[in-house]
Structures are given as C-alpha cells and as structure tokens.
Amino acid sequence: MTSDVAHQVMWNRLISVVEEQAQALVRTAFSTSVREAGDLSAGVYDGAGRMLAQAVTGTPGHVNAMADAVGHFIRRIGRDNIFEGDVYITNDPWEGTGHLHDITVVTPAFHDSNFVGFFACTAHIVDIGGRGFGADANSIYEEGLYIPIMKFAERGAVDRTLVSIIRGNVREPDQLIGDIHALATCNEIGQRRLSDMMSEFGLDTLEGIAGYILDNSRRATLERIAALKPGGADGAMRIDGYSKPVDLKVRVEIHADHISCDFAGTSGLDPKGINVPMVYTKAYACYALKCAIAPEIPNNAASLEPFRITAPEGSIVNAPHPAPVALRHVIGHMIPDTVFDALDKLLPDTVPAEGAGCLCNFQLSLRPRTDATAPAQARRAEVLTFNSGGSGARPGLDGMSATAFPSGVMTMPVEATEHTGPVIIWRKELRPDSGGAGQRRGGLGQFMDVGATEGHEFDLSAMFDRVSHPARGRAGGGAGAPTRIARSDGAGMRGKGRQFVPHGARVEMAFPGGGGYGDPKARDRAEVARDLARGYISEGAARSEYGLGDAEIAEIREAVNKGEA
C-alpha cells in the first residue's frame, strides 16, 4: 500500500508536471496574449476526465472552465476512438472556455502503451476570423470560425484539411496554426513527464493517486464549509453593459456540505457580444468562493465540487447558443465582486472592495491610411494588448495597482506590444487619485495613450467597463475612478465597440481604480504621506479625503524636493 507521504510527493510532482506544461506553452506560443500576458491554462486529468491538478501559471476563467471540458471531449470523441498519438481540439464556447477566441487542446496520455488519462491546455488567440475580437456581433456566427470538438491529429497524423480550413478563415494564419502546435506540444511534454513519474513510482495507472487527491481535496473543502455559520445573503452590482446597464444579482447560501450561488434576477441576454456561457459563469463564481473559503486547497475537480452554481437560462450569465459571446470576460470578470457583495454580509472582514473587474483590453486593426497615399512599408496587422485597472482594497492591505483581478492575466509590456505591429504607445503610467480612498486605499488604474506609426490608420475595438459604474468601496471606503476614453482630436469614444481612428490621431485612455476599504480618516498618517510622496494621491486628495493639513503637506513636499521621501 502506498503511504500518504508517497502520495503527497506524487501530488506535488503532478503539480510541477502541469506547471512545466504551462511554461512550455509560454515559451513556444506565437500570440503575445499567451507569451506576454499568460492568458492560458494547463491541467492533468484522470481517465474519467476529472481534473487532478492545474498549473499555477494561468487564469481561473480558463482552468475552471476547462475542468468541465474534458468530459465533453470524451463524450464527443468516444472512448473507443481514443488512440495513442491523438490530439483533440475545439473552441466551442459552451463546451470549452466561453468564446471562440480560446483554443482548447486535449491529448490522451499513455504509459507503456496503456491509456491513463488526459492533458489539456487552453490559450487565447489573437484572431479567429469573423468580425474580429469585439462586442459588435449579433450572433456567434459573426464572431469567427467555429471548431467543433474533433481530432486535430489521429495517431500522430495532423488533419491537413482542418489546417487548410483554419488558415483560410483567419487574418493571422501562421500565428494561429503556430499556437495550435504549441498547445499540442505542451501537452506532449506533460505526457512525457507523467510517464517518467509513473515509471519512477512504479505506477501502472493513475487510479490510486487520483483517489488520494480527490478524496483529500473534497474532505478539506467540506471541512472549511462545515466550519462556517450557515446562512444566506444577496449580492448585486450594476455595470455598464453595451448600450444599457447590466444588473448582476446573486443569492449565496452556506449549507452544511456545500455553498450555492444562484444568479436569478440578473439581466437578460444582450443583443451584442457581452453574453456569458454558463461554463464561464461557473468558473468565476467558483473562483470567488474558493478565494474566500478555501484558498490554500489545490484546485481540482473535488475541491470545486461543493460549489453549486445556477443561473436562469437566457440570462446574460447563462447565454444559450447562438448568443454572441466574444467579450464574455467583460461580464464574467465582474462575477467575483458580485459574489463578494453577498459574502461580505456572511463573512465580515474577509473579502476585498470592488476592483476594476474586467481586463482593460483593446485590439487594433491597423491598415495603410486611406485619406492619402500610404508609404510603401505600411501594412495590415492585428494587435491585441492586455491591460489592467486597479484591484479593490483588502481588509488588511491596499489594493494592487494596475493588476488584474480576478483574471490574473499580466499587463503586456509596451515593447512587446509595439513589436507585434505598427503601433506606438505614447504614454503608460499609473493614474494618481484613481484608487478609492479608505483606511486601505484602492489600487491605482493607469493612463495609456496609443496610436499608429506614420502612414497607418486603425480601428480600435474597445472592451472596457466601469465608465459609468466605477468600483464601489467597502465598509466606508470610497469608489475608484471610472474609465475614460477619447480621441486626441477631441472626438468622444465608447467604452465598447469597434471605432475608427484616423491617421495621426491617438486614443487617450484612463483605466479605472479599485474601491477603498474602511474610513479614509482612519488611514495611518505615514501611509498617506507615503502615497503623497510617491504621487499615488494628489495634495487635493490628501486634504479632502484623508484630512492632511497644509503644514503636513508642505513638509512632505519639501522632503520630496530634497530627495528624502
């Protein structure tokens, strides 16, 4: 009988295997969204399709959605049709991770020619054809190429017909096909490391270690839940939506052996592409509960199982086919803060204030200028950049500035963005006074000005929220600053949608800040002085929000001028 110590060593080894799998994807991916922003996930599954371990690198929207995806692959491919050397693929929003711009690749794992489980990984790709990445479509059919669950390779032979179809329907074919091969390769690396581990520990199957992982994870999660006081509470949030506000509503109930989240009362479907398939709603609702209830327990099928998520079909968080869903993250990333609004009533002093929520993404579709003769070197390009506002302040800590929560996706470096196409980032810096005031200050958003190089014009696909509904503070904390977007020539711009930017013009953006936590007047004077010295807050905010006097401000100003602060 294998000891608990040996099982724990194997469990840790599995986590390191999937982390190496994820890092291989980061190193080999073509898309900057994977290479620079880490918009990916990787995991290992047993033969029944239950997730055993996930990589640390990645985003919960992918990995928690992917936890359900392998079961769909087993059902669609058929157990009798699984062979060594196979590679399966899909971007089905309802059986994958929520929109067509995520490619999920699943590979059956074999050890000594015996089937033992699966590896799966997901990556966001820059282009999948159709209208392009944005909210403007009226149905899923306009949003790009749909790849049903199918074989990308059978017994090692790639389906060249499928490759030709993909290449013929997207704007960046080399990039996309390169990403698919990177996904397949990282699964192959995971397989090799798993087989090495099984040889080292003398394993013929994963049944023993799977049982140990799942039983212990389930027991630990149930113990955390059982220690909580039973009860229920409602949470709600109003956000911008596309052309009208969206209301997110949830009822969270703590039971003896599970926690339920019901999104009844949430707004219905939107005509544009901000709707959310249920798999993505479940992913982020579970993530919120996991963060608050059992953050130290590793993520797997069993640790997620006690969280029961429901939503009315036809609501914006349970969108049926063929609803447009390209920007499902704009709504989906707001789900944790909605759940936290309810949890704050059940578990005081536990959850943070609201943050920016959704990523501050935008995509540029660049082309030679059409108002005059373009230079010979002008070209077409698709450039997607990931950026973040501020996260909400926590009960004991300030919010994180320009940091994505809940997605965990990294902000892309200016150099990497400018390398992918004829783009210039003219300004990128923290936004003073954007974090909500509080005993704990909200995280700062950032300023970002973007334009094209000489001879180019472009369409900007905006994917922003918090324009009209900034992040709310908690426990007396102030709201974060809202999103702002405009053209440098004075023309207004919308927070969502594809919009033209003429040659020579720039887009000037200010990303939102996180809400504050607690009474601002209770903030430690030394922390206020530090924020003022570092430029996180202005002298005006120091006076009006935190109550600093003129003498204190003058002293701080003098110290800064002398280089002493």
Q: Determine the pLDDT at residue 557.
A: 84
560 vs 565: CA distance, rounded Å: 5
DSSP labels, 89-143: EE--TTTTTSSTTEEEEEEEEEETTEEEEEEEEEEE-S--STT-SSS--SSGGGS
Nearest to 352 by CA among 436, 268, 249, 263: 436
Q: Is residue 339 part of a domain?
A: no
Residues 65 and 209 in one domain: yes
Taken in order 57, 61, 67, 70, the sign of the CA dihedral is negative
CA dist 231 to 153, 310, 475, Å? 50, 18, 21
Q: How many domains does the chain have?
A: 2
Task: Give the strands of the sheet with 507-510, arranged side by side.
Answer: 423-430, 446-452, 507-510, 484-487
Q: Determine the pLDDT at residue 150.
A: 98
Taken in order 326, 328, 330, 331, the sign of the CA dihedral is positive
Q: Which of 165, 198, 218 is the last residue of a domain?
A: 218
Q: Determine the pLDDT at residue 559.
A: 81
Nearest to 136 by CA among 329, 277, 272, 269: 272
pLDDT digits (tens, 9 = 90+) for 479-513: 999 999 999 999 999 999 999 999 999 999 999 99
Q: Is residue 235 part of a domain?
A: no
493 vs 480: CA distance, rounded Å: 21
Contact between 93 and 141 (Cβ < 8 Å):
no
Q: Determine the pLDDT at residue 1.
A: 53
Q: Determine the pLDDT at residue 565.
A: 63
Reported as type and span, the H/E element at residue 381 is: strand 381-385
At which residue do the structure tokens 């089905």 appear?
Answer: 92
Answer left, alpha or beta for residue 433, where phi above 0 means left and psi between -120 and 50 means alpha. left
411 vs 374: CA distance, rounded Å: 32
Q: Which of 162, 188, 218 is the last residue of a domain?
A: 218
Q: Is residue 226 part of a domain?
A: no
For residue 427, the SS3 value is strand
Q: Is residue 122 part of a domain?
A: yes
Contact between 512 and 466 (Cβ < 8 Å):
yes
In sequence order, the 6+-apart residues with CB closer than 8 A to the CB of 89 are 103, 104, 105, 106, 147, 149, 150, 151, 152, 162, 180
Contact between 353 and 393 (Cβ < 8 Å):
yes
Burial class, 155, CB count within 10 angstroms (exposed 0-12 / middle 13-18 / buried 19+): exposed
194 vs 511: CA distance, rounded Å: 43
Q: Which two tokens stand for residue 329?
A: 């993250």
Q: Which two tokens stand for residue 324?
A: 């447009």
Q: Which of 191, 218, 245 is the last residue of a domain?
A: 218
Contact between 239 and 286 (Cβ < 8 Å):
no
324 vs 227: CA distance, rounded Å: 41
Question: Cβ atoms within 10 A of the Cβ of 48, count?
Answer: 13
Nearest to 361 by CA among 400, 405, 401, 330: 330
Contact between 485 and 508 (Cβ < 8 Å):
yes
Q: Which two tokens stand for residue 416?
A: 């990497």
Q: Is residue 178 part of a domain?
A: yes
Task: Give the strands of the sheet with 307-310, arranged side by side.
Answer: 231-239, 246-254, 259-262, 307-310
CA dist 243 to 219, 269, 321, Å? 45, 12, 21
Q: Could you list the residue range(s) of the whole structural domain that residue 423 is in? A: 352-523
Q: Which residues of the chain have pLDDT under 70?
A: 1, 564-565
Q: Is residue 233 part of a domain?
A: no
553 vs 542: CA distance, rounded Å: 8
Q: Is residue 91 part of a domain?
A: yes
